[in-house]
Structure 1
């Protein structure tokens, strides 16, 4: 279906002229742009301009047409042809680094999508997925020509090249956020994107080794888990092996050579097992397809690493798949195989009764085959096999809503919906991507509600994660949990088969320490959202103080002109100045960077120059007033647990992302290490005058090991007007000295000194010191 210039319409000729503007020089040619997360458009393009003959982009889509004609009606083929013609016009003269016309890439992506039998709209989006970025085609033009669904798909696939970001990490996170949210609205977005990434990975060898490693690492960290989460096992395995090959080329080649050698050595064993299994199943009346399969190189490599094995010790390089006709035959075949070879204890998994998070269903068992070799078998039906290989591509979420959803569709829909929930509660793109990555774990545990409903969670999930999985309001109001009808801490990790019951109270609210023991993205984003919004006033005031300090350092007054404020809000993406202050107060933005940006805006605006206090008019910058700490500042200000500062200590503050201001003592070893790593995040703080609370402090006391010693010390602490929060003792009955660590509450440093003098006078106390050994 290739087109000659004479076949092109006047509208297409106009489009071709538009496309030529940026496609004639190869300096504007893109080799593999989708694999590049940076906002720099030229990162993947060749540098020297070369005139490229027009006939080079003469590419055929005959193979694509043959695949599509097998399942699409003729009317849809006409629409696909129109999309191809438009894409061909837009990419005229554009070349991949491999030397092929660039249009060959969209065609290859469309062919991968056709293998999954995606609909015409998805095929058209695959052909057009680069035109918005490369040729500056507007969404409105695609909307007018190809309709709203195709325009939305292409928009979801296009990166945010026109927006300036503070860092490459921020740009990458925002691109992924946009893509994942588009996927949540229409799963076809990620399917086309995965096809795009797959073709780019297949042709990655033309890139520089450094870029190969970067793109492969990104693929392994984001796209491989997404493919697995959606049940696209074929793509999952291929992307995994391709990433492995580019990340560790020497290891890949060495392992491939070893597997090839082992393939010949083990051919006899594999043949013997195949014959035995086929004949046994046939004798039992089961018509099954039995296939020998070789484990992926990356799967073998991970097993060698995880279990610290050499290749010769990895015995189960080969496995077998048994595909039967129905559900009942799956378990019947399992019994027959267990009669043929001895099963290995603890190596049986029933993913039919309890499917994986991505909908995968099979029976897994490992048997001791001939010559004592462990052999893994997977037993499934034909429908299960189809879903295991194609995942969500086997059943469309966006088709007729009247059709009942399969279990896989329900699970996928729930996960996609959770992405939207996380987005609503997340402050920025980096945080969103962090939460989503947490939920891309391939392993899972299966627990039960008290009403016997099965809930699948990421491995390592806790009882609190379970509460947030049920509902955000349940999580926020959780006060306790019961696991298998016994009280258990909220931080308890769940195991498959646990029965979990959550106890709530309308007065319960999330606390910052909950973040330390939740594992799922939904729970983390919900807790952070609550902490952020419940203390908005405190965060806003803290951010106002910090920005005022940074502006003073640059000889700027904190009262800014209205036009500068408008520009600042527009370029920062904040809706109001209070929102910007709040972001600074919780550590999401650095006050020094915001102040520097304000200075740049003022210098670029001639009308604002009189507003700037020039250095020669004010040569000395007044020493900044430190931020005052009163002790009851709420969640926006936290006293560090590592040193537990109390009034009277010299202190310094650290701005931590999403935690606000964390106060350390000036001699805190942890604080000193972090100060060296990120000095720009530290500010001067001081104690306020009106302190109306007591402060936690730890003291360690060494006393003779005799009856009544602890009671005497505790009584003296109470007489010194201090509260005891916790007591820990070390030492056995044979030791002459006991070490007692108290966590107490005092008013300040003077109060602590008076208490320590009183305790030191107790008979039997040999030493007392602040802190815990």
Structure 2
């Protein structure tokens, strides 16, 4: 175990003025707080934060980061508090340790929710101070190095999480060496057989290609020296996991792969990168479409280099990466090697502003980080975080331009919709189509490198919900979900309030939003509007709200009458939620009841038709004047049925889904409503025309027609019609009934 003096010497080697007293205090405090704890391996727990601190010193981070590494588990795993850390080591270190601390003492809905919330908080902490990420990656790296001590099921879960999130996150921040080690360790645990096979194949390949590699190194160094370019040339083979992923993605064998051998050419100055590229292409034939210039157009993680693939000796494909020493340091260590970071700037905004003011290109990683944090900024829906972050991490890039020349980097496969959301959320929400390279194109068109994209905006402010399945970026998906969620809340919250008022009134209570706000934690809803909308959508039973506000309501219900009546029964004693008006009557009995019953005073008013929180059933419709009830269907809202509808029999056992409704139309309403007419008529030429003419003459509208022969003489005609109200429908039935070709006519309720 590393001693205090050794730790100080490591820090002092790159920070001559390091504070030994601070480092010693942190060392002793962490060792004392973890003194009774051991790791799964049986080692003292303190060995873990000490090793994390060692990795942090390898990255040459400041002493505050080293201290945070020593203390990173104290708040989470000991009785230490944030206030105590602030008092002993200062607010700066306290904020770092807090940013590294997982959630504690909060019962979240699921493991996915808990992981998502932890990740969201971590990313937000990173945006405030990038050192949080550096220490977190060091923490995860040491945990992965010692993962063989934990049980297999936990080992697999941690490895998958590392592969899905932490390794790509390290890559996004440009820390390639840490990414590769995390991937290697995860690969070893997730696919041990494939891992062993890849290492075996690579060992054989190294032996077979040793002379080839040495020849290329000598040739490139000699050619560059002849061109007066001082360079270092290093060979490297693709990593086992990278090979495995390529084999899996392309469904090929190891022997079918090319570009497994690579060379890194390190030169002194930027302009020498392009000169060296020319020298290499003069020696070896370049592979078409295999050249990438990440110097003029850096990656989002600040990576800068020239990539080319050439045909080397023995017709082997060989990849070369050409970069300067500074570019190589950024490529390996990412933000840990950033020149601005070394100047003591840790906040992402400061990085961005300083980089712009000094015309430096190394600011893309922080712009990406802020965009990612913005897309994860909704604390009420942490379930989406894991998915959105994966969307942002796992994609190659395409580079597109706005009409004004703004460069926007997007994941490969992105659409014009993704581009619109990358410009601004409002632009995405109102996007209707696009012009790509001056030509009109659908909004769902996938973009290619170099496309110029002009977004055509419409008057709408809510995007189609189906776009969520089309877009690629987390920001676009989050924007669509947020907009549709807000629209849904606006649409359904009013109906939810009416349902609750009706339910509370039937129970002898008065609904007040303030009472609902007090019980939101019990209902697992973040706001009153969310709760009201959930009731309106049928996701939250009104009875649950009633019993949350009035816990003794169930006691009040004891003794409620359930009076049998003939061949069926009904109960109007103020039952739960939507079942304040529940029927169990055959169709005929229900129809008789509908004719006799008076509307309840607390019935919910129905104003309009489909497309809102209230919609008509598709089978038979309903018209003003009908005695109506509503069935509360989760995700659909209230579906209106006339009380005599045969379809209601399938809901007779679902008492919580029934609502009593009443019509509430304006006197001058010009809205038609759907109904069905069942006609038995003579099967003769002109019969359909005569019945249709009567319907048109009565100012009704035919929406559909079903015909079926009954026998040689009669045929059945079922019309879907739209009428003004029940009186209008009754007159229409009377007019059809007097036709001499009509045997029977009635309204269809089935």
Distance 1:413 1:159, change over 3 A: same
Partner Cα distance (1:178, 1:88) in 2: 27
Pair 1:357-2:334 in alignment: no
Partner Cα distance (2:696, 2:436) in 1: 38
Partner of residue 267, structure 2: 324
Partner Cα distance (1:638, 1:520) in 2: 34
CA displacement 1:460-517 (0-9 Å, x = unmatched): 2221222221222333343432110111111111111001112345x33223344343
Partner of residue 118, structure 1: 61
Pair 1:398-2:346 in alignment: yes
1:130-279 to 2 correspondence within 5 Å? 130-279=73-222
Q: Which moved more, 1:647-656 or 1:395-404?
A: 647-656
Distance 1:582 1:136, change over 3 A: farther
Alignment check: 8 A CA contact 1:441 1:459 kept: no
Partner of residue 67, structure 1: 10
1:164-563 to 2 correspondence within 5 Å? 164-395=107-338, 396=341, 397-398=345-346, 403-405=354-356, 409-424=362-377, 427-504=380-457, 507-513=459-465, 514-534=467-487, 536-544=489-497
Q: Which moved more, 1:297-306 or 1:416-425?
A: 416-425
Partner Cα distance (1:416, 1:91) in 2: 33
Partner Cα distance (1:365, 1:206) in 2: 42
Pair 1:577-2:528 in alignment: yes
Distance 1:269 1:544, change over 3 A: farther
Partner Cα distance (1:260, 1:468) in 2: 47
Q: Which moved more, 1:184-193 or 1:572-581?
A: 572-581
Distance 1:164 1:383, change over 3 A: same
CA displacement 1:714-764 (0-9 Å, x = unmatched): xxx99998799xxxxxxxxxxxxxxxxxxx99789x99xx9xxxxxxxxxx
Partner of residue 729, structure 1: none
Partner Cα distance (2:73, 2:388) in 1: 28
3-state SS in 1 of match to 2:363: helix
Pair 1:612-2:554 in alignment: yes
Partner of residue 712, structure 1: none
Alignment check: 8 A CA contact 2:416 2:445 kept: yes
Partner Cα distance (1:77, 1:385) in 2: 32
Pair 1:89-2:32 in alignment: yes
Alignment check: 8 A CA contact 1:320 1:377 kept: yes
Partner of residue 540, structure 2: 591
Alignment check: 8 A CA contact 1:425 1:526 kept: no
Partner Cα distance (2:332, 2:324) in 1: 12
Alignment check: 8 A CA contact 2:285 2:311 kept: yes
Distance 1:539 1:137, change over 3 A: farther
Using the size of structure 1 for normalisation, the TM-score is 0.72
Q: Which moved more, 1:510-519 or 1:361-370?
A: 510-519
CA displacement 1:597-633 (0-9 Å, x = unmatched): 985x78xxxxx76443267534755745599987656
Return the offset for 1:266.
1.9
Partner of residue 77, structure 1: 20
Partner of residue 647, structure 1: 621
Q: Which moved more, 1:60-69 or 1:578-587?
A: 578-587
3-state SS in 2 of match to 1:221: helix
Return the offset for 1:60.
2.2
Partner Cα distance (2:107, 2:31) in 1: 29
Partner Cα distance (2:137, 2:620) in 1: 54
Partner Cα distance (1:364, 1:378) in 2: 5
Alignment check: 8 A CA contact 1:646 1:695 kept: no
3-state SS in 1 of match to 2:421: helix
Alignment check: 8 A CA contact 2:417 2:443 kept: yes
Partner Cα distance (1:331, 1:349) in 2: 12
1:715-726 to 2 correspondence within 5 Å? none
Alignment check: 8 A CA contact 2:299 2:364 kept: no
Alignment check: 8 A CA contact 1:184 1:419 kept: no
3-state SS in 2 of match to 1:488: strand
1:673-688 to 2 correspondence within 5 Å? none
Distance 1:567 1:110, change over 3 A: farther
Distance 1:476 1:241, change over 3 A: same
Return the offset for 1:153.
1.3
Partner Cα distance (1:179, 1:270) in 2: 43
Distance 1:339 1:425, change over 3 A: same
CA displacement 1:170-215 (0-9 Å, x = unmatched): 2221111111111121111122111111111111111111111111
1:733-772 to 2 correspondence within 5 Å? none
Partner Cα distance (1:415, 1:745) in 2: 56
3-state SS in 2 of match to 1:122: helix
Partner Cα distance (2:295, 2:64) in 1: 34
Alignment check: 8 A CA contact 1:360 1:387 kept: yes
Partner Cα distance (1:695, 1:352) in 2: 65
Partner Cα distance (1:718, 1:515) in 2: 43
Alignment check: 8 A CA contact 1:550 1:591 kept: no
Return the offset for 1:439.
1.9
Return the offset for 1:573.
7.0
Q: Which moved more, 1:468-477 or 1:109-118?
A: 468-477
Partner Cα distance (2:327, 2:251) in 1: 33
Return the offset for 1:653.
6.5
Q: Which has the larger radius of gyration?
A: 2
- Structure 1 unaligned blocks of 5 or more: 1-57, 603-607, 666-674, 697-716, 725-743, 755-773
Q: Which moved more, 1:429-438 or 1:568-577?
A: 568-577
Alignment check: 8 A CA contact 1:628 1:686 kept: no
Return the offset for 1:217.
1.1
- Structure 2 unaligned blocks of 5 or more: 563-574, 583-603, 624-628, 642-649, 675-694, 704-719, 733-750
RMSD, matched Cα? 4.4
3-state SS in 2 of match to 1:339: helix
Distance 1:282 1:509, change over 3 A: same
3-state SS in 2 of match to 1:320: strand
Return the offset for 1:664.
13
Return the offset for 1:545.
6.7
Distance 1:335 1:567, change over 3 A: same
3-state SS in 1 of match to 2:290: coil
Distance 1:718 1:302, change over 3 A: farther
Return the offset for 1:128.
0.8
3-state SS in 2 of match to 1:380: strand
CA displacement 1:133-152 (0-9 Å, x = unmatched): 11132211111111111111
Alignment check: 8 A CA contact 1:426 1:432 kept: no
Alignment check: 8 A CA contact 2:2 2:50 kept: no
Partner Cα distance (2:489, 2:376) in 1: 19
